[in-house]
Amino acid sequence: MNVQVTINGEKLSADVEPRLLLVHLIREVFRLTGTHIGCDTTHCGACTVLLDGRPVKSCTMFAVQAHNREIQTVEGLEQNGALHPLQEGFIAEHGLQCGYCTPGMLMTSKAFLDKHPSPSEDDIRWAISGNLCRCTGYVNIVKAVQHAAAKLRAAVPAGGAR
Amino acid sequence: MTTPKTTPEVGGMGHSIKRKEDPRFIRGKGTYVDDVVLPGMLYLDIVRSPHAHAKIVKIDTAKATAVPGVLAVITGADLAKYNLHWMPTLMSDTQMVLPVEKVMYQAQEVAAVLATTRYAAADGAAAVDVEYEPLPAVVSPQKALEPGAPVLRTDKKDKKDNHIWHWEWGDRAATDRAFAEAEVTVKEQIYIPRIHVASIETCGCVAHFDKVNDKLTVWMTTQAPHAIRTVFALVAGHVGLAEHKIRIISPDIGGGFGGKVPVYPGYVIAVAASVLTGKPVKWIEDRMENLQADSFARDYHITAELAAKKDGTLTALRIKTLADHGYTDAAANPSKFPAGLFHVCTGSYDLKAAHVEVDGAYTNKPPGGIAYRCSFRVTEAVHTIERMVDIMAHQLGQDPADFRKKNFIKPEQFPYKSALGWEYDSGNYAGALDKAMQMIGYAELKREQAEKRKRGELMGIGISSFTEIVGAGPSKHFDILGLKMFDSCEIRVHPTGKAIARFGTKSQGQGHETTYAQILAEELGIPAADIQVEEGDTDTAPYGLGTYASRSTPVAGAAAAIASRKILDKARKIAAHLLEAAPEDLVYEPGKFSVKGAPNRSKTIQDCAFAAYTNHPQGMEAGLEAVSYYDPPNLTYPFGSYICVVDIDKGTGEVKVRRFVAIDDCGNIINPMIVQGQVHGGLTMGLAPALLEEISYDEHGNVQGGSFIDYLLPTAMETPKWETGHTITPSPHHPIGAKGIGESATVGAPAAIANAVVDALWHLGVRHVDIPITPPKVWKLLRENGVTE
């Protein structure tokens, strides 16, 4: 089957088996290997990408379900050589260690902050609870998201929407 | 924190410099094994046993080989032609690569399918038809050792039972005497269950045998690439794989925690498939394979006894343990220590007598006995002593903090020779406990608890004052398969004063690229930003035993300092030449030599590096390089005190960790930010087995906890907001006074949580609860002890 998607703003298409998983389309067909696989059962979130702005676990979706839709992956976060505030936050707050869960954490956090610019710590913990990290103990990931939230708020005029 | 010796620009020890690894990881530009794709690469998938114990009657591959894209099905019989169907374990036992006669655990590898795509390989694996004749499964290690139990290792000619080994340590007679004379004794059965490290990246490899050059390259999820290369050469030497023709590359690793030390059958089958086909072969296990078949940790059935005087002075410890090893002893312990360093079980206490026995048993379960983010059974040791000390304190009606302080090894007793023979390098245990008590407000919490108890509310305060033993190890006692447990660093300083340093270890998230550069920066005065750190490629890095058991900083970190000092010795001679002074007349501060009494006559390390290639003294070799293979004179003994506060829901049995304060002492600190991150992660991997994780088996040997559906890793919701701090007691024998920090928290945390839960329930009559302390377990305990809502 032919599947057409926009990934990080670029229109791409491929002929795929109907059963091909979205994560394999992204990783193996389009060679965007920042999206990782950790469990195959939707539990760990290492494969999280944004589908039309909403976080999905790409290990449990078929590629064809993304047909004519827009996908954002970790590779699309950096814009014109500038890191996304979340990427800056993860570095500044030591929000990553082995880096394997990080792309999924970043994408989940991005979708969350897009809708919740001033989250509480509990809100953030709830938002990332579908993404497992074995290294950091989450404390610094929460701080990294708070770091990004503050930076994003500062960049948006009062009352402005993103 | 002491003031750093170097400027932030140089970024030596004590600076929280940002990690060199992060720019690639936050962009999704790391290279993990599954990211490696080679032209013409084939995929391997593995057929696994549904039975825990069964005879293989027939393997029918016809349907599988008919699947489009499937090239071959590899069975034990195929490997037997090359005598590769069995391989040695790291403990000199034997392990099947693929079975010929019978399977010994559920999820064991039975056959492998080689195909042109990942999906075709999976289709092929599903189409392999295996006929089994089930055999009775031996699941419990107690039953395995009973007379008349089915003998599992029928491959071993003279084996008449399921007993692997007996090991004991300490003075039995003195210990028995101390118990006979004891005024108070306590005894407890403690089970430390089977768990799995479950790094978020599973295991896998890409094996590429280049038939033209006879060279095998394997990209592999391994924490110990050099040892793996040697093992491959020893195991497959007879089929032509010589060590200089094997290159192991350990790329970015998505978490290791001990699970990526062993050689799993999948690696070996992939290598064999590549050698046979001459094509690259990728094998990546899925999560269920990872949890069900890869090496487990722990599974110790412990009977512990502690003796004391009435005044609370501890006198003796006696431990008997049954170790469930699965069907083979595939632990990753130093050769001399089949139970690892379990005999550090006297912990932080000045016990005059101790004796410990461990018996290993075969069962129909996957092999292992590896670490779960800890140094060779140290968590088992710490959990036992910290639980027992707490039980004794409660039994005597003494405050657990006071009780610990009374029995701690005192600062002036270091170096301290323990009853079980270890020489503790340094410590100030009361210092760490006092700091933790102050930080958490211990006295106030005790008051709160007393009030709540009056109201019938269940609140507990638990302490764990642990001592670790890491940095294996001195070559006199420590080897794995005969390979001495040194580690290495090789430094090359380039003409323009930048440097590359290569190591025998391999980071899996610990941040070695950053911290090793900081050690060099500290010693050489070359900015950490100017130092490139490389690990994990056996063709380029010096030989070392790898990263596990918190050995990187204690061993390879020491090698970094020693190699740096060799560089400085030569740089000093070059500086003397440039300054026309005698080497001994120069004064060194990081990055600069100056003439004694004439500080403005000086040369920088960069000046010396340039001269080493452009203007070196006659009679001296050009270049500025050094290598160190560091053989540690002793292990290091990090320690800490943790205090945990729990609230227990009487209705549901849920244990809620309200606060958790962790004071760690890992000696001198290289990067405070990274140390804190290691403690956060370690604490979370301490919380996990304390409250959530267990892999168990039913009576037929069916695994329970074999996927993330029922093997529960802590999420951000269960994980408390850790409160951390430190004291600093440098290691006297380590060149930079460091001790290692990666695993302390995983070792120390479970006991603090368990002690807090028992503290909340002691007045009801509860004396012990095995981890994981799940809501059903607590609910049952409450009901048994008369608590309703």
Q: Structurally, how many domains does chain B consist of?
A: 3
Q: Indicate the residue of B37, B677, B717 with minimum beta-carbon distance to A97.
A: B677
Which of A76, A93, A127 lies at the terminal end of a domain, its last residue? A76
Report the DSSP pairing between strands B531-535 and B499-503. parallel
Looking at the structure, tell me whether residues B562 and B656 fall in a common domain.
no
Identity at B500, one-letter amino acid code:
I
Distance CA B703, CA B48 (A): 13
Per-residue pLDDT reduced to its tens digit, A27-43: 999 999 999 999 989 99
Domain-located, residue A65:
yes
Per-residue pLDDT reduced to its tens digit, B63-113: 999 999 999 999 999 999 999 999 999 999 999 999 999 999 999 999 999
Domain-located, residue B752:
yes
Domain-located, residue B16:
no
Distance CA A113, CA A121 (A): 12
Looking at the structure, tell me whether residues B408 and B324 fall in a common domain.
yes
Per-residue pLDDT reduced to its tens digit, B635-687: 999 999 999 999 999 999 999 999 999 999 999 999 999 999 999 999 999 99
Which of B589, B613, B630 lies at the terminal end of a domain, its last residue? B630
Q: Is the pLDDT of residue B401 over 80?
A: yes
Average pLDDT of the segment spanning A59-73: 98
One-letter-per-residue 3-state SS of B681-748: HHHHHHHHHHHCCCCEECCCCCEECCCCCCCCCCCCCCCCCCEEEECCCCCCCCCCCECCCCCHHHHH
Looking at the structure, tell me whether residues B624 and B653 fall in a common domain.
no
Q: Is B203 considered catalytic here? A: no
Domain-located, residue B172:
no
Average pLDDT of the segment spanning B537-548: 97
Domain-located, residue A105:
yes
Q: Is the pLDDT of residue A156 over 80?
A: no
Q: What is the pLDDT of residue B235?
A: 85
* DSSP classification of residue B764: G
Alpha-carbon gap: B159 to the closest alpha carbon of chain A (Å): 39
Q: CATH number for the domain including A122?
A: 1.10.150.120
Encoded tokens for B71: 């090239």
Q: For B251, which residue in chain A has the nearest alpha carbon?
A: A98
The pLDDT-based confidence of A159 (bands split at 50, 70, 90) is: low
Distance CA B267, CA A20 (A): 26
Looking at the structure, tell me whether residues B111 and B250 fall in a common domain.
yes
Beta-carbon count within 10 A of A81 CB: 5
Which of B630, B657, B691 lies at the terminal end of a domain, its last residue? B630
Encoded tokens for B473: 């190890």
Which of A21, A41, A76 lies at the terminal end of a domain, its last residue? A76
Looking at the structure, tell me whether residues B241 and B317 fall in a common domain.
no
How high does pLDDT run on average in chain A? 96
Looking at the structure, tell me whether residues B388 and B263 fall in a common domain.
no
CA-wise closest residue to B509 among B554, B552, B560: B552
Q: What is the pLDDT of residue A162?
A: 45
Q: Is B373 considered catalytic here? A: yes
Looking at the structure, tell me whether residues A32 and A90 fall in a common domain.
no
Domain-located, residue A130:
yes
Distance CA A73, CA A75 (A): 5
Q: What is the pLDDT of residue A157?
A: 66
The pLDDT-based confidence of B584 (bands split at 50, 70, 90) is: very high
One-letter-per-residue 3-state SS of B122-153: HHHHHHCEEEEEECCCCCCHHHHCCCCCCCCC
Give chain B positions within 8 Å (CB) of A123. Answer: none
Domain span at residue B50 reads 33-135+203-284
Phi, psi angles (nearest 5°) of residue A64: -65, -20
Looking at the structure, tell me whether residues A33 and A62 fall in a common domain.
yes
Q: Do B255 and A19 touch (CB under 8 A)?
A: no
Looking at the structure, tell me whether residues A50 and A102 fall in a common domain.
no
Q: CATH number for the domain including B503?
A: 3.30.365.10
Looking at the structure, tell me whether residues A58 and A94 fall in a common domain.
no
Compute CA distances B319 → B162, B379, B404, whole Å. 21, 15, 20
Q: Is A117 helix (H, G, I), strand (E, B) or coil?
A: coil
Domain span at residue A70 reads 2-76
Looking at the structure, tell me whether residues A132 and A91 fall in a common domain.
yes
Radius of gyration of chain A (CA): 16
Phi, psi angles (nearest 5°) of residue B704: -125, 125
Q: Indicate the residue of B30, B288, B685 with minimum beta-carbon distance to A99.
A: B30
Which of A76, A105, A131 lies at the terminal end of a domain, its last residue? A76
Percentage of residues in chain B having pLDDT higher than 90: 97
**Is residue B76 packed enough to be buried (19+ CB in 10 Å), middle (13-18) or exposed (0-12)?**
buried
Looking at the structure, tell me whether residues B597 and B690 fall in a common domain.
no
Domain-located, residue A160:
no
Compute CA distances B597 → B524, B585, B589, whole Å. 22, 9, 14
Domain-located, residue B385:
yes
Alpha-carbon gap: B548 to the closest alpha carbon of chain A (Å): 15
Distance CA B571, CA B778 (A): 64
Q: What is the pLDDT of residue A14?
A: 98
* DSSP classification of residue A26: I
Looking at the structure, tell me whether residues A89 and A72 fall in a common domain.
no
How high does pLDDT run on average in chain B? 97
Radius of gyration of chain B (CA): 27
Q: What is the pLDDT of residue B589?
A: 95
Q: Do A136 and B677 touch (CB under 8 A)?
A: yes
Q: Indicate the residue of B202, B709, B713 with minimum beta-carbon distance to A132.
A: B713
Looking at the structure, tell me whether residues B582 and B655 fall in a common domain.
no
User: Chain A 123-152, CB below 8 Å of chain B: which residues?
Assistant: 124-126, 128-142
Q: What is the pLDDT of residue B742?
A: 96
Per-residue pLDDT reduced to its tens digit, B686-704: 999 999 999 999 999 999 9
Q: Is B374 considered catalytic here? A: yes
Looking at the structure, tell me whether residues A62 and A11 fall in a common domain.
yes
Per-residue pLDDT reduced to its tens digit, B173-204: 999 999 999 999 999 999 999 999 999 999 99
Average pLDDT of the segment spanning A113-137: 98
Domain-located, residue A24:
yes
Preferred mutation among A25, A134, A142 to probe B, highest tally of B CBs within 10 A: A134
Flag whether residue B715 sits within 8 Å of chain A, measured between CB atoms.
yes
Q: Residue B587 contacts by C-beta under 8 Å, 6 or more apart in sequence? A: B593, B594, B595, B596, B599
Looking at the structure, tell me whether residues B65 and B81 fall in a common domain.
yes
Looking at the structure, tell me whether residues B460 and B495 fall in a common domain.
no
Which residue of the set B373, B377, B404, B659 is catalytic? B373
Preferred mutation among B43, B118, B123, B200 to probe A, highest tally of A CBs within 10 A: B200
Domain-located, residue B192:
no
Q: CATH number for the domain including A65?
A: 3.10.20.30
Which residue of the set B95, B106, B108, B223 is catalytic? B223
The conformational region for residue B525 under phi > 0 = left, psi -120 to 50 = alpha, else beta, is left
Largest CA distance in chain B: 88
Q: What is the pLDDT of residue B409?
A: 98
CB B15 within 8 Å of CB B8: yes
Instruction: Give the containing element (helix H, strand E) for A72.
Output: strand A69-72
Alpha-carbon gap: B255 to the closest alpha carbon of chain A (Å): 6
Q: What is the pLDDT of residue B145?
A: 98
Looking at the structure, tell me whether residues A96 and A143 fall in a common domain.
yes
Q: Do B255 and A98 touch (CB under 8 A)?
A: yes
CB B409 within 8 Å of CB B349: yes
Encoded tokens for B454: 């009056």
Looking at the structure, tell me whether residues B392 and B332 fall in a common domain.
yes
Compute CA distances B199 → A100, A133, B154, B254, whole Å. 9, 9, 34, 7
Q: Is the pLDDT of residue A161 over 60?
A: no
Looking at the structure, tell me whether residues A21 and A72 fall in a common domain.
yes
Looking at the structure, tell me whether residues B127 and B217 fall in a common domain.
yes
Flag whether residue A120 sits within 8 Å of chain B, measured between CB atoms.
no
CB B693 within 8 Å of CB B711: yes
Which of B284, B307, B337 lies at the terminal end of a domain, its last residue? B284
Encoded tokens for B197: 């490290």
Q: What is the pLDDT of residue B238?
A: 85
Q: Residue B188 contacts by C-beta under 8 Å, 6 or more apart in sequence? A: B303, B304, B387, B388, B391, B767, B768
Q: CATH number for the domain including B43?
A: 3.90.1170.50
Q: Do A134 and B713 touch (CB under 8 A)?
A: yes
Domain-located, residue A12:
yes
CB B419 within 8 Å of CB B170: yes
User: Chain B 287-316, CB below 8 Å of chain A: which residues?
Assistant: 287-288
Domain-located, residue B165:
no
Domain-located, residue B713:
yes
Domain-located, residue B761:
yes
Alpha-carbon gap: B197 to the closest alpha carbon of chain A (Å): 9
Distance CA B255, CA B508 (A): 5
Q: Is the pLDDT of residue A160 over 60?
A: no
CB A22 within 8 Å of CB B268: no
Distance CA B462, CA B657 (A): 11
Q: Structurally, how many domains does chain A consist of?
A: 2
Per-residue pLDDT reduced to its tens digit, B373-388: 999 999 999 999 999 9
Looking at the structure, tell me whether residues A52 and A101 fall in a common domain.
no
Flag whether residue B676 sits within 8 Å of chain A, measured between CB atoms.
yes
Residues in chain B, total: 789
Percentage of residues in chain B having pLDDT higher than 70: 100
Which residue of the set B203, B205, B374, B644 is catalytic? B374
